[in-house]
Structure 1
Amino acid sequence: MVRFDAPTQVHALRICLVSKELSPFFGGGIGTYVTLMSRAFADAGHEVHVLTAALPGIERAPELLPGVHVHSVAELEPGYAGAFPFPPLRHAMAAYTLLQTLHARHPFDLIEFPEYEGEGYFALRARRTLGQFSTAVLAVRLHTPTHEVQHFNRVTTLDMDAAQQEFMEDCSIRDADLLLSPTQSLLDLVRARLGLGDKGVVVPHPFSTSSFARSVPRPRAEPPRVLYFGRLEYRKGVQHLIEAMQTLFARGLDADVQLVGGDTRTGPFGRSMREWLERRIAPEWKHRFHFEAPRPRAELASAIAEATVCCFPSLWENFPNVCLEAMSAGCLVVGSDAGGMAEVIEDGRSGLLFRSGDSTHLAEVLERALTTPSLQQAVRETAPARIADTCQPARIVQQVEAAVAAHPPVLPTLRSTPTHKEAAPRVSFLVPYFNMGQYLPETLRSIRAQTFTDYEIILVDDGSTDPHSRALLETLDAPDLRIISKRNGGLSSARNAGLREARGHYVLPLDPDDLIHPTFLEKAVAVLDGSRDFAFVTSLVSYFIDDPARIVGGWVPWGVERDALWVFNVASTCTALMERRHVEEVGGYDEWLTAYEDWDVFCALAERGLSGTVIPEPLFQYRLRPDSMTRTTLVHDRYAVMAYLYQKHPSLALHPERSLRILQGEAHKQQQLAALAPTPARPLLHQVADRMNEALKQQLEPIHPALRRTAKWLLQSAPEDSRPLRYQLMEWVKRLKPPRR
């Protein structure tokens, strides 16, 4: 908790900035911000730590960031890493793991994450579900969320990875104790989209003006030069600069345009932006436009010094470093009035503004800028002073200190386990059973190892035919167990039979070959008892084959994201703790379904406006079996079952067009994989496997079993509901046959 001696005096804080980007080792605006902010905190007397990726050259951090403790995030254990196939997800978990260790040694007072790529997703989930980092204010700083970046870039493609990144970012923003934004415009944009009310505080980024200050005037280029530097990206509005300057050239204005920056795939439908821009230049003006590759920061200062005007015609912008750099150097900046530049540039005094997206108005403003030497000269003094005042590091540190003091940690209400039992058990386990005698004893042991003991076990024998499995039932007499026998009706029928007999306030479905960690119930019950926000709670999933201690992969449920849930079961496995009345109100499990009955329940809950959350620990252990339902019937029935669910839950998606975009994005992935095959008869993956087999037969026979195991591990690590890659891997495993002897 932050401590104060007086309203204007704050004790030294222990601060951690989490960012995979860190300048000068890697990154653009976020990396630059973290470097400058960490220095500002350290200069103010705070203890500063930075958690970043294992970046090349990071060993030089003590020299470049004196007084700042820099920690590199380590990779996850190989088996467990399979649960996080999406790189941002994997990094967020690795950062959370390291953060737990550092916080346990000496608790932080402030932990700040960027919203971009959801780096704080797991840490913030841990606060909300487990009460972790209780002494720290967990802050999220807005840079520009992926949703806004894609919107302004007119990117409509969306697959599950991109949807998950947006979900992680939005959850982080919502769950933060303190939301910081460098501009009011970005804060307003995010507030409106996410319904955040008045949440958030505007605190600009610090900026060092020294590297761009003009100590000696340099001669300007002749003819006059308009400089744009930054990525060639649609949302940066470079197309309007090109159109406006051609208008001026046609009027007889003599000038050149210099565009310094890397290309992006934000042209029409993912094409090269630079090629699209070049095609928009009339042949008679092509010699006036000069495209250059990105320059190192040190070389940009000379380009700015030689420019008459710097133009940043963004369709929308947050708090761009390029604008700060040009103004710090005393250059006349022409910027868009959409977004943060309008909060930095005082129109007509420290720069000029034009109406965003209006090429005609931009041409008028550029003509004024290029033909008014007095304005150019006046800005040489006013613009650097404006940046020095707005972005003064010491003042920004004080603003953050005040914001931290005004936003103490928000901790969940986690109720402790009652010391006495009620007449009815708190939790009812629903265990469907069909010919699973080989695995059931281990599953029952995992239930009875729970630290939370107020439960009953309802075992529903769904007409087992295996003699061993039937005989086992005769040996299971125990006070915590009730066995119900019925004719075979399928998984949904068995779960419904258990639901009808359940007495618990909560129910927890658990298949008879899976396991749960001893603290699953204790932690899940505490979350549901202490919150009215959630209808169910689940956990991360770890995969195993025979030995639960040997993790071979896993899965990360999301909870509820209604648009994505309409496309894939992102909510949970069947093993989620749910309030019994909610499951009963949606009609239990649909007995027409041969699979995905749990997905159906989560869809029904979501349609009623009920949500769920995920404890960021692998408390559920899923056994991978080659004969499981998800590896047999679902391969053939998947699309028919999904069509049924779409029809049954037509109002599930809050934004149906977004769900359709995800479907199209996943279809595009499948198309790309199919394109790898030179001929329909012999896909490329098959050819590779066959050639590898031939080589193994001749030279590498001793390692062939290990390679086959690796291929199997890749298959097992793929998510259960997964993508076309799973089926390609299945074929690969088949073709990696041991060599004949």
Structure 2
Amino acid sequence: MRIAFISFEYPPDTAVGGIATYVNQVAKMMKSRGHDVEVFSASPTRAVSEEYEGLLVHRIHTNNTQAFPKLVLPVFEERHLKDKFDLIESPEYKGDGYEIKRRFSTLPMVVKLHTPTQFIHEINFTYNILLSGSQKLRYILGGLLRGEIRQPYWKQHIWKKDINDIDYQVTAIADQIHTPSISLGDHVSEKWGIPREKIFNVPYPFIPNEKFLEIPIAANPVTKKVTFIGRLEIRKGLVELTKAIPYVCEAVPDVTFTFVGKPIASIVPGMMMDEYIKKNLPGYESKLEFTQAIAPEIPKLLAQADVCVFPSIWENFPNVCLEAMSAGRAIVASKQGGMYDMLSSPEAGLLVDPMQPREIANAIIKLLKDPELRTSLGKAARHKVLQAYNQEKIGGVMEGYYNQLVLKTAR
């Protein structure tokens, strides 16, 4: 098959997030399976077609995600008319392949879900949406007392179907839709009115760093280090984790918490998340460590961790959890989103309600007090990630769905 991946994000020029990592991995994976693969991406500095890591990559000179779908069309059209593609894949996020599909309506398009913009917005404003009835009433009445008719601002942040939303538009015209996590497929089906059977479950492939696999799994019965890795932001569940920390410290006095990642805004205007955590944990300063590590330092930080905690309010299919699994760590993770898929059936970690601090604390305490459980879950996690998400397995699944679509279109 001739396959084109259409993605604003692609390394090294626009390696800004998980989409870039995914497209880079699957493009190389599909080429290794004998397919002819090209990538169409963006660059803030140049317009070029070049060989990069064994693939032909066409870089469109733009740093504007909204402009990219139109700007990529003529470059793609020239290549397609010269040597026709059998199929294109686009993320739903920002609708990268939308204009190409509109121009070439019979060309099969797969849309890979990553997390729609409106869903990200809803998660980031969770604490506005969850205002109590009395808080909402006080806001409305306060406006009336001032002669104002205040709109319920919390409703602005709820994800709902919008036919003018480019994420929805590109998904609606897709010939096939793939979701990394079962949860994301369920949400998209419900919010956008797409039959769930039309959304296929296709996890991201994972290529583990050999340094992760070299980390011994056997738990250290002496140390008590809990590690969070990721951006320090609201949607990663750090507000509730902050509330959980005193319970853990009370039960395990020699525990320490290490936060690895760049601080982003907290729920308090003008306050970054690391400041928020410190401000809300007076007296626990000696238990907290903050660092911004670069990728080569992550294996060492995971090797030092006794428990990894990822209590995201909701997250699609976080790579950091897959890394912790490959490192054989004991993991406490949110049951909302893709980590449920990763750590259940069979059990490979402890899943918690991310909005329940005591539940988060109890799971951390359970693991800190039971080295044997940490070891057994670490073994299960490493086995699961190597068996379920390897390139051969995921590549076969993707190839099967691609073939199915191409054959269906050819009839």
Instruction: State the TM-score, normalized to the length of structure 1.
Output: 0.48
What are the Cα deviations for residues 369-408 of structure 1, in whole angstroms up to 9, with x where unaligned? 1111112222332212201122121221221222223335
| CA displacement at 1:266 relative to structure 2 | 4.9
Q: Specify the SS of the correspondent of 1:49.
A: strand
| CA displacement at 1:285 relative to structure 2 | 0.5
Assess, with a 3 A threshold, how the Cα gap between structure 1 residues 278 and 58 changes in structure 2: closer, same or farther.
farther
Aligned-partner Cα distance in 2 for 1:60–1:383: 40
Structure 1 match to 2:199: 200
Aligned-partner Cα distance in 2 for 1:51–1:361: 45
Q: Specify the SS of the correspondent of 1:48.
A: strand
Structure 2 match to 1:22: 10
Aligned-partner Cα distance in 2 for 1:310–1:408: 42
> Are residue 288 (structure 1) and residue 277 (structure 2) matched?
no
Aligned-partner Cα distance in 1 for 2:228–2:395: 31
Q: Which has the higher contact order (CA 8 A, sep 6+)?
A: 2
Asked whether the 8 Å contact 1:153–1:266 carries over to 2, the reply is no
Structure 2 match to 1:180: 178
Structure-to-structure mapping, 1:321-332, within 5 angstroms: 321-332=319-330
Aligned-partner Cα distance in 1 for 2:119–2:347: 30
Structure 1 match to 2:85: 108
Structure 2 match to 1:485: none
Q: Specify the SS of the correspondent of 1:15.
A: strand
Aligned-partner Cα distance in 2 for 1:214–1:402: 29
Asked whether the 8 Å contact 2:266–2:276 carries over to 1, the reply is no
Point out where structure 1 has 5 or more consecutive residues left out of the alignment. 1-12, 76-85, 127-131, 412-741
1:47 to 24, 36, 40: 36
Asked whether the 8 Å contact 1:114–1:141 carries over to 2, the reply is yes
Structure 1 match to 2:136: none
Structure 2 match to 1:514: none
> Are residue 267 (structure 1) and residue 231 (structure 2) matched?
no
| CA displacement at 1:276 relative to structure 2 | 2.6
Aligned-partner Cα distance in 2 for 1:237–1:286: 20
1:391 to 385, 389, 392: 389
Paired AA for residue 125 in structure 1: R
Structure 2 match to 1:258: 258
What are the Cα deviations for residues 466-521 of structure 1, in whole angstroms up to 9, with x where unaligned? xxxxxxxxxxxxxxxxxxxxxxxxxxxxxxxxxxxxxxxxxxxxxxxxxxxxxxxx
Assess, with a 3 A threshold, how the Cα gap between structure 1 residues 310 and 346 changes in structure 2: closer, same or farther.
same
Paired AA for residue 15 in structure 1: I
| CA displacement at 1:352 relative to structure 2 | 1.3
Structure 2 match to 1:142: 113
Aligned-partner Cα distance in 2 for 1:229–1:197: 35
Paired AA for residue 41 in structure 1: M
Aligned-partner Cα distance in 2 for 1:268–1:166: 31
Instruction: State the TM-score, normalized to the length of structure 2.
Output: 0.84
Percent identical across equivalent pairs? 29
What are the Cα deviations for residues 350-380 of structure 1, in whole angstroms up to 9, with x where unaligned? 2111123111111111111111111222233
Q: Specify the SS of the correspondent of 1:326.
A: helix
Structure 2 match to 1:465: none
Asked whether the 8 Å contact 1:44–1:394 carries over to 2, the reply is no
> Are residue 99 (structure 1) and residue 45 (structure 2) matched?
no
Asked whether the 8 Å contact 2:86–2:406 carries over to 1, the reply is no
Aligned-partner Cα distance in 2 for 1:406–1:118: 23
Paired AA for residue 291 in structure 1: F
What are the Cα deviations for residues 97-152 of structure 1, in whole angstroms up to 9, with x where unaligned? 221121111111121111112212222333xxxxx153x32111111111111101
Q: Specify the SS of the correspondent of 1:152.
A: helix
1:69 to 35, 56, 60: 56
1:366 to 361, 364, 367: 364
Asked whether the 8 Å contact 1:220–1:307 carries over to 2, the reply is no
What are the Cα deviations for residues 81-104 of structure 1, in whole angstroms up to 9, with x where unaligned? xxxxx9322112112222112111
Assess, with a 3 A threshold, how the Cα gap between structure 1 residues 185 and 71 changes in structure 2: closer, same or farther.
same
What are the Cα deviations for residues 575-610 of structure 1, in whole angstroms up to 9, with x where unaligned? xxxxxxxxxxxxxxxxxxxxxxxxxxxxxxxxxxxx
Q: Specify the SS of the correspondent of 2:61.
A: coil
Q: Let me know the Cα RMSD of the aligned residues.
A: 2.9
Assess, with a 3 A threshold, how the Cα gap between structure 1 residues 42 and 405 changes in structure 2: closer, same or farther.
closer
Aligned-partner Cα distance in 2 for 1:172–1:228: 35
The 4+ residue runs of structure 1 with deviation greater than 6 A are: 56-61, 155-159, 163-166
> Are residue 31 (structure 1) and residue 38 (structure 2) matched?
no
| CA displacement at 1:288 relative to structure 2 | 0.8
Paired AA for residue 343 in structure 1: D
| CA displacement at 1:328 relative to structure 2 | 0.9
Q: Specify the SS of the correspondent of 1:318.
A: coil
> Are residue 215 (structure 1) and residue 186 (structure 2) matched?
no
Paired AA for residue 214 in structure 1: L
Q: How many residues align?
A: 376
Asked whether the 8 Å contact 1:177–1:409 carries over to 2, the reply is no
| CA displacement at 1:303 relative to structure 2 | 0.5
Assess, with a 3 A threshold, how the Cα gap between structure 1 residues 268 and 222 changes in structure 2: closer, same or farther.
same
Aligned-partner Cα distance in 2 for 1:60–1:285: 54
Structure-to-structure mapping, 1:655-694, within 5 angstroms: none
Aligned-partner Cα distance in 2 for 1:216–1:360: 30
| CA displacement at 1:347 relative to structure 2 | 7.2
Paired AA for residue 102 in structure 1: R
Higher Rg? 1
Structure 1 match to 2:308: 310
Q: Specify the SS of the correspondent of 1:343.
A: helix
Q: Select between 221-230 and 334-343 the one with higher mean Cα deviation.
A: 221-230
Structure 2 match to 1:726: none
